[in-house]
Amino acid sequence: MSFKKIVSAKKFWPSVALFGIMFIILFNLIRVAFEFKFDFGAYFGTHFQADHLVNFIISNLVGGFIYGFAVVYFKYRRQFKENERN
């Protein structure tokens, strides 16, 4: 089983995107809950300022991609190993 075989699987990249987006949403909801006590106005005011916006977007995209890629990669790796055993 190779890395290339896993990442070239048909539904690998859409799954990475889906898990990444779900992670970004859930992470930010948890962050709003713990840091801002569900005050969405303060949250948006803090993270959507011009000097913080680029960092906010990049960090969310990178974090979501890393999480999505890791989860989906190991899921597909396990599936490929199980298929090879059978």
Token representation of residue 22 = 């779900």
Residue 4 in domain: no
CB atoms within 10 A of CB 19: 19
pLDDT tens per residue across span 7-16: 999 999 999 9
- pLDDT number for residue 43: 94
Residue 53 in domain: yes
pLDDT tens per residue across span 37-55: 999 999 999 988 888 899 9
Domain that holds residue 77: 11-85
Residue 25 in domain: yes
pLDDT tens per residue across span 55-79: 999 999 999 999 999 999 999 999 9
- pLDDT for 1 beyond 80: no
Residue 26 in domain: yes
Residue 79 in domain: yes
The number of folded domains in the chain is 1
